[in-house]
Amino acid sequence: MANTTMAAAQIFGISRMRQHQAAPTLIMCSNTAKGAEEFSRLVNTGCKLVGCGSAVPSLRVTNHDLAKFIDTNDEWISTRTGIRNRRVLSGKENLTDLAIEAAQKALEMAEVDPKDVDLILMCSSSGDDRFGSAPVIQKALGCKHNPLAFDITAACSGFLLGLFSASCYIKAGGFKNVLVVGADAVSRFVDWTDRGSCILFGDAAGAVLVQACDIGEDGLFGFDLHSDGDGKRHLISTFKENETDDASSENPSMTSFPPKCSSYSYLQMNGREIFKFAVRVVPQSIEAALDKAGLAGSNNFDWLLLHQANQRIIDGVATRLEVPSERVISNVANYGNTSAASIPLALDEAVRGGKVQPGHVIAAAGFGAGLTWASAIFRWG
């Protein structure tokens, strides 16, 4: 009975530390054999990451390129951020195509046919369609039976929230194969005359295939998820009405109708506050996720994989967690901050480059606009 209680607690996200408190009541619809079978499935289902992929635009923009039209230089950018290059959408390229390419690569690595995909989660805050792009990815992949596909918006934390959602759909919903795609084109929303922000961002897509497995092979060990709307003002791109003639001026009773054409403002960021926020909350979040996973301590995982926002943030978090640089995955120098794509992009490079091996345990964390932050402890393969 104790093992069943613990397994149920893990499914519903209860940490080991909290299991001494009153356990939730699990209500069965009936006492039939079918109900017992369903409960057995719930407590015996795990999930694991079995494939990954990524894609980036063809245009590479160097720090020297930026220095041609804004007051900056390679040394100024690289010493403050660690970034030397970024990829930016150009010509006929679009974000959805990058997401499709990354998803295809993840399926190929996992050796899973698109017809066997049960769910697609597109994590993005800058998609090609304001109503979402996940169904377009579903169609392009050739998925049969119209599997559910929808978008998740949580900026730089989006991918890890997608990973958590995938685990919930698998462990509690009976799904078998879930594609989690992180893709962003923040270059569309930066002011390319503002050297404080435009130097940081690039465009990319990354994806993983999360697959159901026996609980003994479960590879997603613990999560820690948070948001703080009070910090929203530090990183924001707000809705605004364009300046146009007011068509209702001749009829005072119709003031402000019809609505004017609208768009979103350039990204506005208080870099100092975001830095302080990240180096404060991320170590705490990773430690909390490790604790929930029963793996407390930096010696219980192989790799630290953070949202690739800024090398100084990555170094600061690693120092606080006492993780040596040789166990930190970083590709921010080559791609900059790619928002929801940064973690799966870095993971894919590390896997395909032979750095991350099957069985390695990774402590990952995302953080950014919202403000949101999330951590996950998982095993690769």
Note if 156 is an active site residue: yes
3-state secondary structure of 372: strand
Note if 337 is an active site residue: yes
Q: How many helices (H) and strands (E) does the chain have?
A: 11, 16
Rg of the chain over all Cα atoms, to the nearest angstrom: 22
Helix (H) or strand (E) holding 268: strand 268-269
Catalytic-labelled residue, pool 177, 310, 331, 337: 337
Note if 334 is an active site residue: no
Catalytic-labelled residue, pool 123, 177, 198, 307: 307
In terms of Cα–Cα distance, which of 189, 119, 156, 107 is closest to 309? Answer: 156
DSSP per residue, 305-366: EE--S-HHHHHHHHHHHT--GGGEE--HHHH-B-GGGHHHHHHHHHHHTTSS-TT-EEEEEE
Catalytic-labelled residue, pool 52, 143, 156, 198: 156
In terms of Cα–Cα distance, which of 308, 333, 329, 121 is closest to 207? Answer: 121
Which residues are annotated as catalytic? 156, 307, 337
